[in-house]
Structure 1
Amino acid sequence: MTRSLETAIEHFPIAGSFTISRGSKTTASVVTCRIAEGGFAGIGECVPYGRYDETVDSVMAEIEVIRPKIEAGLGRNDLLSAMKAGAARNAVDCALWDLEAKTSGKHVFAIANLGEPQPLTTAYTISLGEPEAMASQAAHYAHRALLKVKIGTADDASRIRAVRAAAPDCAIILDANEGWTEANLTHHFAVCAKAGVTLIEQPLPAGHDGLLASVSRPVPVCADESVHKTEDLPKLVGLYDAVNIKLDKTGGLTEALRMRDAARVLNLKIMVGCMVGTSLGMAPAILLAQGAEFVDLDGPLLLARDREPGLRYEASLVLPPIPALWG
């Protein structure tokens, strides 16, 4: 049966701007992959990330290289060795999952031998800014159960205190995006402990993880930039308490499910995160996030415009995708 592959670059405006320690952006640029076969078509989305030397053009080029094999019938498991981990493989992998669901008439969760997905409590992201601006954001969203707060400056203490004062009842995840240093690590840990922070994500630059073994960690710490695939996990044991699994890092749902299971064996807690993308990019991650200790799948909530149909959000809950969206 003949297959065809199509790719496209799409741009979705962000509501306001999205700011982390590495900069700001006002548009989410995504690459979609559509694989058609036998009257059915599966689709996947990825978000190229400059931190990992990805652009929309480089991702499009990666997918173009694999086109002959995809159109010849390459499957998901063989894709793991045919493409490197990253955004490009994520788009292809998720499109293949969606295609299999449509051709078989089964949900992806059933094909993957997973339980039927349930609604999840997701974090809502507070962008990096001056303490007063971040406090204003936090106060506006203080009705949410979980906030993910972007930090990563030389003076995060004032930002942490301001956000906690503005949202006293929220659980808080802090994401430093590699912005802390050996000089301020212990100080920031102490501030986080006093503020009742639930989790600190990637405080130090990737490659400097060993420093975490030399200090007291009063708040659990989660790896993000330091973990991309299953093979990365053993070196994190004893340094981190949790790992952030993102489909755009692992290169799709297939590898992400393997990584989640391997992390559980190593007694690492699971956070399932996302880049700023549309509901199409979040949908497969909802299956991955079932049973995770921390869920951060708020990408569509940060956009001025999402796909239609999109995911349904109710207060702090995100509901499983309908088949018309994915899976």
Structure 2
Amino acid sequence: MKIKIEKRVFEHKKPFVITGYTFNTSDTVWVTLDHDGHVGRGEAMGIYYNDEDMDTMSAELEAVTSLISNDITFDQVQELLPYGGARNALDCALWDLRMKQAGTSIWQYLNLTPKPLVTVATVGINTPEKMADEALEHSKYAKLKIKLSEDDPITRLEAIRAVRPDASLIVDVNQGWTFAELKEYTPAAQKLGIEMIEQPLPRGKDEELEGYKSLVPLGSDESCLDSSEYAVSAGRYDVINIKLDKCGGLTDALKIIELAKRDGKVLMVGNMSGTSLSMAPSYVIGQHCQFVDIDGPLFLKQDIDNGLEYKYGGVVSVPSTELWG
């Protein structure tokens, strides 16, 4: 088995702002596995709020390269690395390689008939006027995800709703509110037709949601990193957001899907940004999700070859096998 680990930076069209962070680039790590002419690829952004970056992920991967052989299993990858970006890149590269070696597709292997997904387009934090302008710029997208902080969020939502009365809206707070603020803002959010509020409270400080019935469904993102954290989040949230960079790849994501289906939980697939190579395995997860956020390539000045096509309404093309899987 030949293993290549690369750091690849993709420039954004403009800065992307969320609670506490501004992103100007998508800084990725690529893993390429090559065995007897069959090549599998995986891409990761990592968990930025856990201080993962290209250097830390590359170091994690370099430390285990001698243990990666052609007969390594998906379960062994889970044991080799902890959840996070490094494992995601390796796990997704292995899935891609195994499909190429078997001469099949991920859809045939998982016995799925892929349906086209409709992604949200994300509006970053800015002034109410500029957020409304960006919502208009995304007029071809039927669904929007609005990034908010504690800074006058309802005024921003009202500005967006005024120019996009047609749009389906969800909100992502990225841990930016207190429980008191959540209760204060939720009635107005409900009146504005917000369909879901993602991660309103900080990770590790959301126990107040136990037994709380929100007027607007609540989603768990930072509070549910991988399948081992599912049970606690399932008791506090209506929606579980699966991100491959958090849970460490497709293998653990499939476990979360199984648990959520058992419990009747609503699912969302999200992303940390990145190219279409990051979105392709997320597309598999999206087949099981009510909420779909795979718009990472829309932030980039240039996506990779054989990338996903983003069509009118937010419909995203099924990944080609040349891209992944």
TM-score for the superposition, normalised by structure 1:
0.96
**In structure 1, what is the equivalent of residue 78 of structure 2?**
80
State, as a whole percentage, how many aligned pairs show the same letter.
37
Q: How does 1:31-46 map to 2 (within 5 A)?
A: 31-46=29-44
Measured in 2, the distance between the counterparts of 1:173 and 1:204 equals: 16
**In structure 1, what is the equivalent of residue 178 of structure 2?**
181
Measured in 2, the distance between the counterparts of 1:212 and 1:119 equals: 34
Structure 2 counterpart of 1:172, from 153, 169, 174: 169
**In structure 2, what is the equivalent of residue 270 of structure 1?**
267
Structure 2 counterpart of 1:129, from 120, 126, 129: 126
Measured in 1, the distance between the counterparts of 2:90 and 2:233 equals: 28
Q: What SS class does the counterpart of residue 233 from structure 1 fall into?
A: helix
Measured in 2, the distance between the counterparts of 1:214 and 1:242 equals: 15
Contact in 1 for aligned 2:146/2:169 (Cα 8 Å): yes
1:260 corresponds to 2:268:
no
Measured in 2, the distance between the counterparts of 1:276 and 1:310 equals: 14
Measured in 1, the distance between the counterparts of 2:258 and 2:212 equals: 28
Measured in 1, the distance between the counterparts of 2:58 and 2:72 equals: 18
Q: How does 1:1-327 map to 2 (within 5 A)?
A: 3-71=1-69, 73-111=71-109, 113-213=110-210, 215-315=212-312, 316-327=314-325
Measured in 2, the distance between the counterparts of 1:202 and 1:74 equals: 35
Q: Deviations over 1:16-72 (max 9, x none)?
A: 111101221211110000011011111100002320120110000111111011136
Contact in 2 for aligned 1:154/1:180 (Cα 8 Å): no
Contact in 1 for aligned 2:241/2:267 (Cα 8 Å): yes
Measured in 2, the distance between the counterparts of 1:228 and 1:25 equals: 21
Q: Deviations over 1:178-236 (max 9, x none)?
A: 00013312111112111110110000001122222365410000000000111212112
Contact in 2 for aligned 1:154/1:184 (Cα 8 Å): no
Q: Which runs of 5 or more residues in structure 1 are unaligned? A: none
Contact in 1 for aligned 2:244/2:253 (Cα 8 Å): yes
Measured in 2, the distance between the counterparts of 1:210 and 1:145 equals: 34
Contact in 1 for aligned 2:125/2:131 (Cα 8 Å): yes
Contact in 2 for aligned 1:152/1:203 (Cα 8 Å): no
Q: Which runs of 5 or more residues in structure 2 are unaligned? A: none
- How many Å apart are 1:154 and its aligned residue? 3.4
Contact in 1 for aligned 2:41/2:97 (Cα 8 Å): yes
Contact in 1 for aligned 2:226/2:247 (Cα 8 Å): yes
Q: Deviations over 1:150-196 (max 9, x none)?
A: 00223211111111112111010100000001331211111211111
Contact in 2 for aligned 1:123/1:298 (Cα 8 Å): yes
Measured in 1, the distance between the counterparts of 2:288 and 2:42 equals: 23
Deviates more, 1:45-54 or 1:33-42: 45-54
Contact in 2 for aligned 1:118/1:319 (Cα 8 Å): no
Q: Structure 2 vs 1, CA of residues 311 and 143 (structure 1 numbering), >3 Å: closer, same or farther?
A: closer
Q: What SS class does the counterpart of residue 273 from structure 2 fall into?
A: coil
* Matched AA of 2:126: G
Contact in 2 for aligned 1:289/1:295 (Cα 8 Å): yes
Measured in 1, the distance between the counterparts of 2:37 and 2:139 equals: 47
TM-score for the superposition, normalised by structure 2:
0.97
Q: Deviations over 1:114-170 (max 9, x none)?
A: 312121010000011111110111122234211001002232111111111121110
Contact in 1 for aligned 2:234/2:240 (Cα 8 Å): no
* Matched AA of 1:205: P
Alignment root-mean-square deviation, CA: 1.3
